[in-house]
Amino acid sequence: MSITAIADPTKPGSLAHRARTRRWAELLRCFPNLADMRVLDLGGTPHAWRLSPVRPAHVVTVNLDPSTAHQTEPDITPLVADACTLLTSGHLAGERFDLAYSNSLMEHVGGHRHRQQFAETVHSCADHHWIQTPYRYFPVEPHWLFPGMQWLPFRARVAVSQHWPYGHISSANRPQATQDVEEVELLSVTEMRSYFPQSHIWFERFAGLPKSLVARK
């Protein structure tokens, strides 16, 4: 089996697909009434919810990708916006949700200040949340599927992004590789707890090792 097949969450039987299934089971254990909830998905897409085992009563997805605006369904409302500036942009002024949800976005928002803004959005928009992000100290970097890449010097990470043929990010040239590397910053447990001090941090594990972190409340 190829590395990409192992890491493809849409491929039944792959390691990534099994991990996603376990994550959904834990989400439903924590929020058994998800089907009745109004959910704010920060960084998600309508397409992802079409594939989900449970559909909430209504979902608002927030994504910078303008193509998501055309993926409308009666119970899914796509919003093209920045998840970190929702509180100041007026996009969701006065709106409340049962659950704020996010999957693998927090490591992409761009530094401490934006992560703080992201966390403020989560706390302000919903009483409950489920915020997942890959764990910095898992031995394989999850975007490039390269062992220990996150601990390499910046120049070496750019070289990996430009030449490593596997993973979910493929950089066509050095400027693109530089940008791709700049846009990923994995988080530690301490950082996650600082943004969500009242939350329980759940460790999603692979082979006994923490693979990703979920702040849930």
**Domain annotation for the chain: domains and CATH numbers:** 3-138+184-216 (3.40.50.150), 144-183 (no CATH)
| Segment 73-112, tens digit of pLDDT | 889 999 999 999 998 888 887 789 999 999 999 999 999 9
What is the distance between the alpha carbons of residues 50 and 18, in angstroms, rounded to a whole number?
A: 18
Residues 6+ positions from 60 with CB-CB distance below 8 Å: 38, 39, 40, 41, 76, 77, 78, 79, 92, 97
What is the distance between the alpha carbons of residues 81 and 167, in angstroms, rounded to a whole number?
A: 27
Q: What is the reported pLDDT for 8?
A: 57
Q: Amino acid letter at 63?
A: N
CB atoms near residue 90 (< 10 Å): 10
Q: What is the reported pLDDT for 134?
A: 96
- Among the listed residues 146, 184, 151, 178, the one whose alpha carbon sits nearest the alpha carbon of residue 162: 178
3-state helix, strand, coil split of the chain in percent (to 5) is: 40, 25, 35
DSSP 8-class letter at 135? B
Task: Give me 145's structure tokens.
Answer: 């599927």
| Segment 116-137, tens digit of pLDDT | 999 999 999 999 999 999 999 9
**Which residues of the chain have a pLDDT value below 70?**
1-17
Quick one: residue 115, left, alpha or beta (phi over 0 = left, psi -120 to 50 = alpha)? alpha
